Amino acid sequence: MTARVLNGAVGVGFGFVLSRIGFTSWDDVHRMFTFADLRLLLSFALAVGILTLGWLVLHRLPGSRWTPRPIHRGTLAGGALFGVGWALSGACPSIALAQIGEGQLGALWTVAGSTAGNWLYSVVHERYFRWTIGSCADS
Amino acid sequence: MPHWSWWAGGVALALVPIANWVLLRRILAVSGRFTALVDRLRHGPDEQQEEMSTEELIAALREATAREFGEDAVQPEAPAVATGSQPAQPATSLGVHAIFLLGLLLGGLASALLAGALEPTASLHGTLFASLSGGGSLPAAPWLLAGGVLVGFGTRMAGGCTSGHGLCGVSRFQPGSLLATVAFFATGVVTSFALGALL
């Protein structure tokens, strides 16, 4: 029960933050990728900088799982495909859901697509690939 | 929608993975939650529940070793044992992932409501997107669906998205995350400039 409340709370906070930063705006994401407006990039860079310092303390908390992210054969290609998808849809997996909440119901297509794409990859991987992909398995 | 200044946004964006870590002791990784739910849809609930997860077992052994012999005795974690077919997040119950994803949606809703900016549309907001999609909701669908498929396929293939790789992986100097982040930013830039020629 507690886990549900805490997960829900972090989710709500993340959705709110993405919305107020402007990450849920297709236009703003487009301007970020074309360097027409550096606001989103600066926010992202600052967050990474704060986290870099933060981990120095945070990873010492008891019960921490410091999951490594090694390079594997899907890293480059997968990242590259994701970037094309982000630029087209204006959304990464979290953003699409926050967009729906904001009333941008076109993002239902994005979520449908990303669910299908995730599924499709798991099928393709089983049939054709033989490497371990790791996963965002740590949340 | 009112936007925060870049520095306020950066601080807030950092607080999310920090809260996730402090409250849940996990790296914020949203595409992994999608993966867990998709695997559940694919394989059904029974298989999921019966399966004794390898990752869980390894984690338990690791903890026991650390308790007995100290942290130094524990080898750096081997690359994940999970393959594309195995449930990615066995240690956390799936309902929790669904609730997190629902929370994202509610967060967007709260933001729009509090700003008095809730304007439902069957497309997306924004004039640039409107000029790309021709302004209607139907012409927008192919862009969004195709983009979504690439997002889902690519994030699973790369083993992470903007949260797990971009925010949390880069700030921990993880090689896979650095490469994936460079890759998705690069193709995002190229694709956006190409789209810009169409706008």
This model of the complex carries an ipTM of 0.93
Q: Does A105 touch chain B (CB under 8 A)?
A: yes
Determine which helix (DSSP H) or strand (DSSP E) holds A31, and give its type and residue range.
helix A26-33
Least confident among A30-44, B26-40, B84-98, B175-189: B84-98
CB contact under 8 A, B14 and A54: yes
CB contact under 8 A, B149 and A82: no
Which site among A55, A56, A73, A122 would you substitute to test the B interface, given the most B Cβ atoms closer than 10 Å to its Cβ?
A122
Q: B62 pLDDT exceeds 80? A: no
Residues B191 and B189: their CA atoms lie apart, in Å, by 6
- DSSP state for residue A36 in the 8-state scheme: S
What does the pLDDT look like over B147-184, one tens digit per residue? Answer: 999 999 999 999 999 999 999 999 999 999 999 999 99
pLDDT, residue B80, reads 46
> What pLDDT band is residue A26 in, cutting at 50, 70 and 90?
very high
pLDDT, residue A53, reads 97
Residues A22 and B8: their CA atoms lie apart, in Å, by 12
Least confident among B30-34, B48-52, B193-197: B48-52
Residues B183 and B196: their CA atoms lie apart, in Å, by 20
CB contact under 8 A, A83 and B183: yes
Exposed/middle/buried for B91, CB within 10 Å: 0-12, 13-18, 19+? middle
Q: B140 pLDDT exceeds 70? A: yes
Residues B99 and B59: their CA atoms lie apart, in Å, by 25
